Amino acid sequence: MTMTSKPWRIIPVVTAWTLTGALSAAEMGPPDGPPPITVTARSRYIGESELSHTDTKVSWVSGGIGTEVPFPIVGALNGSVGLSVDYFSADFKNFESFIPKTAAPIKHGYEVRFDPGLHYHYSDEWDFFGSVLWQADTADGASLGRSSMWGGAAGAAYQVSSNLNVGFGFAAATRLGYATGYAPFVGVEWRFAPKWHLSLTGDKTEYVSPVVRVSYQLNENWSLYTLGGYETRYIRLDRDSSIPDGTLRYRAGSFQVGAVYKASKWLTVTGFTGAQIGQDYKFQTSERGLAGKHKAGVAPTVGLRLNASF
C-alpha cells in the first residue's frame, strides 16, 4: 500500500463516522440514561450541468435511510453500530460526446455503509473514540465485493470549555482503483456567541464531509445554517456496461444554505439549497486505465432530511 500524494482527500471517507459523535459526547458529558437510537431519511437533487468541452450533460437524484444504534458495554465504554442505504440515479445525456462510441456506463446504483464504533468517556474533559467503516458504492449489476472500500479512524476529543470542544486523530481508507490513503484530522465544535455555532467536522447525515458549518438559532424551534464542504465518491461500474467493471470517481465542492425545524423533541426537519462547484468526473477501466476525464459547470442542488430519535 502506497501513501497517497494528496492525503486530505481521503478524510471524507471515514472521519464523519467517528469525530462528530465524539465531539457531541464531549460537549454533553455523561448522558442521563442510554443515548437514543437515531433514524435519518434524506434526499437530494443535483441539477443538470454540462461537462467542459463536450455536449454531455448530467444530473443526479438520490435518496436513502440510515440508522445509528448505541449500546453500553461496560462502565464508561459504549459501542454503536451505524447502517445506511442510499439509492441514486444518474442521467447522462449525449455521453458519446464525453467518450466517443461509448454509451453511458451508469444509470442507477446504490451506496451501503456499515460502521461499528467505540466511544470511551474518560473524564469530564476527555473522550476517546475509534471506528471501522465498510462502504460499497456500486452501479446496478456491479460486483458488490469489488465495490467494497474499507476505512478506520481513531482519536480523542477534548472539552476546552462549556462552549468549545476540539478533536483530533488519524484515518486511513482504501479507494477503488487508487492507492490507500492516510491522513490526520482535526475537528472543532464552538458556540462562539449565545445563538451562533461553528462546526468543523464530518456528519454522517450530510452528503458532503468534511464540512465547515455556521448556524444561527432563531428560536426554540428554528435555526438557519450555511456550510461548505467537499464530496468524493468512487463508484464501481457494471461488468456488462460500456466500461466493464470500471470505476467512476466524482469530486466536487459543495455549498449549502438551509433551515432546520425542530418539530418535537424527537423529530427535526431540514431543507436546503445550494450548488455543486468544481465538479470532476473521471472514468477508469477495470485495468485502471483512463477512459475519460472532464470537469463540469456549477450545478444547483436542493434537498430534504428528516432526523428522528427514539
Domain boundaries, the chain: 7-309
Give residue 2's pLDDT. 33
Count of other CB atoms within 10 angstroms of residue 12: 23
Query: How far, in Å, CA of 176 to CA of 249, rounded?
Result: 9
Q: Where are the alpha helices (DSSP H) in the chain?
A: 11-14, 19-28
CATH number for region 7-309? 2.40.230
The rounded distance, in Å, linking the Cα atoms of 88 and 269 is 21
Q: Are 169 and 16 in contact (CB under 8 A)?
A: no
> What share of residues in the chain are helix, strand, coil (percent, to 5)?
10, 65, 25
pLDDT of residue 203: 63
Q: Is 48 exposed, middle or buried (0-12, 13-18, 19+ CB in 10 A)?
A: middle
pLDDT at 25: 47
The answer to whether residues 276 and 299 touch, using CB atoms and an 8 Å cutoff, is yes
Distance CA(168)–CA(278), nearest Å, equals: 28
Tens of pLDDT along the chain (310 residues) come to 333 334 333 334 444 444 554 455 444 444 455 578 999 999 999 999 999 999 999 999 999 999 999 999 999 999 999 999 999 999 999 999 999 999 999 999 999 999 999 999 999 999 999 989 899 999 999 988 889 888 888 999 999 998 999 888 888 888 776 667 777 888 889 999 999 999 887 666 566 666 789 999 999 999 999 999 888 889 999 999 999 999 999 999 999 999 999 999 999 999 999 999 999 999 999 988 999 999 999 999 999 999 999 8
Q: What are phi and psi of 81, to 5 degrees?
A: -130, 125
Distances (CA, A) of 126 to 119, 159, 220: 11, 7, 29
C-alpha radius of gyration, the chain, whole number? 20
Amino acid at 148: S
Distance CA 227, CA 157 (A): 22
pLDDT of residue 179: 63
Q: Are 12 and 202 in contact, with CB atoms under 8 Å apart?
A: yes
Could you tell me the pTM of the whole model?
A: 0.87
pLDDT digits (tens, 9 = 90+) for 100-156: 999 999 999 999 999 999 999 999 999 999 989 899 999 999 988 889 888 888 999
Amino acid 36: pLDDT:
87
Q: Can the peptide bond before residue 7 be classed as cis, meaning omega within 30 degrees of 0?
A: no
Strand-strand pairing, 38-50 and 299-309: antiparallel
